Amino acid sequence: MKVMIAGGFGTGKTTMVRSVSDIKPLTTEETLTQASVGSDHLIGIADKAETTVSLDFGKISINDSLMLYLFGTPGQERFWFLWNGLFKGALGAVVLVDTRRLASSFRAIEEMERQNVPFVVALNVFPDSKDYPIDEIRDALDISPHIPVVSCDARDRASSRDVLVALIRHLQDRSAVALESR
Ligand SMILES: Nc1nc2c(ncn2[C@@H]2O[C@H](COP(=O)(O)OP(=O)(O)O)[C@@H](O)[C@H]2O)c(=O)[nH]1
Ligand SMILES: [Mg+2]
């Protein structure tokens, strides 16, 4: 099953693919240089030294019959033209959100809705993140009540795995609803 790991710049996509993957993830990380000043916004993530130029790829086996292939999306707006092909065949997505910079993930959410990819929202908790009520975040992101919102630490394998399990449950719930309404 193909799963997208999406979200704004610096929300933890590469970190999540790396922490959860069973294989050494294929990444195409490049050192951020002066050349990206003005195009990549580092507010709140000043110590970010690397950025994903194309995409991250990883793989995790959930059980004997379910293998997830994880595709991290590039965060920078100038790579969005790549997105159409990237979503082909994706059964679901995780949209990572940094609650200090909610707006950075707006476009990723829009893109999931536009491409009809079911998703869960994962709030990646940073040391200075405030503890907002989930409903407030749901309102701010303008997502419907049936979309799960979970918290996580993208650096932690078990926590990242829990997010993927939440996504699988969400996909199962959706298909159950679809069967009932037939
Ligand atoms: N404290 C904390 N830092 C994180 C977490 N996830 C990612 N980071 C750091 O935040 C920065 C951005 O993460 P990265 O995975 O490169 O973001 P991406 O642009 O979405 O791929 C990196 O320096 C990470 O080490 C987290 O859960 N907690
Ligand atoms: Mg990245």
Per-residue model confidence as pLDDT tens digits over 165-182: 999 999 999 988 888 877
Q: Please give the Cα distance from 100 to 114 (Å, whole number).
A: 25
What Cα–Cα distance (Å) separates residue 18 from each residue in 5, 107, 173, 179?
11, 23, 28, 35
Q: Tokens 């993930």, residue?
A: 105
How many domains does the structure of the chain reveal?
1
Q: 119-124 and 29-31: which strand pairing?
A: unpaired
Q: How many whole angstroms from 65 Cα to the centroid of ligand 1?
A: 30
* Residue nearest ligand 1's atom 3 by CA: 126
pTM for the whole thing?
0.85
More confident residue, 2 or 52: 2
Q: Choose which residue among 5, 11, 14, 15 to substitute to test ligand 1 binding: the one with the highest number of ligand atoms within 8 A of its C-beta.
A: 15
* pLDDT of 124 higher than 90: yes
pLDDT number for residue 13: 94
Per-residue model confidence as pLDDT tens digits over 73-117: 876 666 666 666 788 899 999 999 999 999 999 999 998 998 899
Tokens (6 digits) for 116:
């009809």
Percent pLDDT > 90 in the chain is 62
**Alpha helices in 37-156, H assignment, sequence order:** 83-86, 106-114, 134-141
| Ion ligand 2 contact residues with beta carbon within 5 A | 13-14, 52
Residue 121 belongs to domain spanning? 2-180
CATH number at residue 61: 3.40.50.300
